[in-house]
Amino acid sequence: MGSCAGSFKKDRTETTETIAISGAFALYPMVVQWSEDFRKIHPEVRFNISAGGAGKGIADVLSGMVDIGLVSRDIHPEEFEKGGYLINVANDAVVATFNSNNPAVDNILRRGLTKREFVKIFVEGDVHRWSQLPGISADYDMHVYVRSDAAGAAETWAKFLDCSQEDLSGIGVFGDPGQAQAIMRDPLSIGFSNLNYVYSLKDRLPQPNVQIIPVDWNENGKIDPEEFFYQHLDSLNNAIGDGRYPSPPARTLGFLFHGRPENKTLLAFIEYILSPEGQARLPENGYVKLSEETVAAELKKIQ
């Protein structure tokens, strides 16, 4: 298994093995679910899973600290040069969020924001009051929240805005849970998050005090019916699947290995995730399945 062999360990008993995983908050809940499913088939396998952001997952796997790094952004050329080996496992997206108690909530949902307006807010800092957006009379400060850690969500959002994560400016918050809480607490907030920290899996509606800002893709100053699919997690996931919510900010989530995985248990875990049973777990947990063509391509990488 290449240099991952140092972190893929057999426990004290000869028949028990541990798979160590760290990385993207976006993929963490899904990997916990997959690991529980896999243990029903392979009870001899244990998992040690932690979330710390895609940057940490990549650093951990390339240094041999874990077997799998969870990634929610593109892999950089230098990371491939260091031995990174990527297997894609799911699709999701990053969305812009604000507090549902914002005094201008109805106008914001009606007009949405254009990509250029997002650039003025998150990159250029030219828009710092809500009333600077045409059609919004509520004259309040705009509190911009961004990620303070090396995050796939931030890099994906920055890629959508044609810049890098370092170009995003605002109040830095660590981790997806912290970012989501900041939006929930602050009526004048604006930020971005992974889907699984925006919607509740119980009713598949946005979390309390949170709304998603629709993107005015055709820049006509209003959200047309074909541009509004955020009211329900499944309607947004359908839009991701058919391309109405394009990439970026939609994206592919993956497992990064240090070299092509060869350990039989790791391979069995990947094969389960790419199986119809493993992929069927994605929609119910708020993610989008890979296409059949993508699944076939990813399986070919480990054959």
What is the C-alpha separation between 173 and 204, in angstroms, rounded?
Answer: 25
Looking at the DSSP assignment, which residues form a beta bridge with residue 189?
143
Q: What's the rounded mean pLDDT across residues 10-16?
A: 59
Percent of the chain whose pLDDT exceeds 70: 95
Phi and psi based region of residue 233 (left: phi greater than 0; alpha: psi -120 to 50; beta: remaining)? alpha
pLDDT on residue 122: 97
Tens of pLDDT, residue by residue over 239-278, are: 998 889 998 999 999 999 999 999 999 999 999 999 999 9
What pTM did the predictor assign? Answer: 0.81
- Residue count (the chain): 303
